[in-house]
Amino acid sequence: MNTQLRVEHLSKTFVLHQQNGVRLPVLRDANLTVRGGECVVLHGHSGSGKSTLLRSLYANYLPDQGHIWIQHQGGWLDMVQAEARQILTVRRHTVGWVSQFLRVIPRISALDLVMQPLLELGVERRQCLARAEEMLDRLNVPRRLWHLAPSTFSGGEQQRVNIARGFINDYPVLLLDEPTASLDGRNGSAVVALIEQAKQRGAAIVGIFHDDAIRQRVADRLYDMQPPNEVKTPDDHQ
C-alpha cells in the first residue's frame, strides 16, 4: 500500500510560563511513516507526548519545526504549512479524528451528531441517516438514546457516539486518541472490528490504546515515544 502520512523532523516545545520562560520540550525530531492498511500505535508512558503528536497531526497544535505530509485528493499537503481553509478541507475529506471524549453540543441528538460529518460532504440525508444508524447499532448505543442529546449519556455511551462519528466516513487517515478508554470488553471488540475493517479498505491509522490486549489486536507497529526532556528554565541555557 502507498504511504498516506509522513512525519518529518517534528518538534514541539510548550512554553509553560510566558514571563519566566519555562519551556517543556515534548516532541524532538519525531519521524514516522504510515502506509494505507496499517495501524501504528503510539507507545510510551503518560506524559510522553502521544496526544501532542496526534493533535499535531490533526493540526490542533502547531509544531515548532518539521513537516506533516498527508496524501489528500491525489496530492501531498503539509499540515504544518497549510492554510486554515486547507486544513478544514483535509479534515472534512481525508482525516477522521476520535478524541477520548465527545464534544457534546446541547440539544443536538446523537443521530445528528454522528451524521453531521457526512451531511457536510453533501451526501444525501437519507443515506447519512442510514449510515449513522448502522454505526450506532454496531457500537451498541441503545436505540432509545438515538434521538436524545448525549449530554445526559454515561461516559461510555458518549464515547461510543464519538466513535460512531469518527468512523461515519471512510476516511483515508484515522487518528484515534484512546477511543476505548471508557469501554467494556464487548464495546472494545466493536471498535477493534471497525479498525480492522478500516485497515482492510486501506486506511492509514495512528492510535493510542492503553489496553494491552486491544493494542496487540490492532497494532501492526508500535511507535516508541522518546521520554520527554526535562523542563528547561532560562538558567539551564547558561
Contacting residues toward ligand ADP, per CB under 6 A: 14, 16, 24, 26, 44, 46-52, 228
From the list ligand ADP, Mg ion, none, partner contacted by residue 26 (C-beta under 5 to 8 A by kind): ligand ADP
Long-range contacts of 12-17 (CB under 8 A, 24+ apart): 12/49, 12/52, 12/56, 12/61, 12/63, 12/64, 13/64, 16/231
CA–CA dist 121, 197 (Å, integer): 22
From the list Mg ion, ligand ADP, none, partner contacted by residue 238 (C-beta under 5 to 8 A by kind): none
Smallest distance from ligand ADP to CB 21, Å: 14
- E strand residue ranges, 36-185: 39-43, 65-72, 75-78, 95-98, 173-177
C-beta of 202 vs 228, nearer to ligand ADP: 228
Is the sign of the CA dihedral 190, 188, 53, 164 positive or negative?
positive
Smallest distance from ligand ADP to CB 50, Å: 3
From the list Mg ion, ligand ADP, none, partner contacted by residue 158 (C-beta under 5 to 8 A by kind): none
Beta bridge partners of residue 30, listed in sequence order: 10
Residues that bind Mg ion (CB under 5 A): 50-51
Smallest distance from ligand ADP to CB 49, Å: 4
From the list ligand ADP, Mg ion, none, partner contacted by residue 46 (C-beta under 5 to 8 A by kind): ligand ADP
Smallest distance from ligand ADP to CB 48, Å: 4
Q: Minimal CB distance to Mg ion: which residue?
A: 51
CA–CA dist 87, 28 (Å, integer): 23
Beta bridge partners of residue 24, listed in sequence order: 14
C-beta of 7 vs 145, nearer to ligand ADP: 7
From the list Mg ion, ligand ADP, none, partner contacted by residue 14 (C-beta under 5 to 8 A by kind): ligand ADP
Smallest distance from ligand ADP to CB 166, Å: 18
Residue 195: its H or E element: helix 185-200
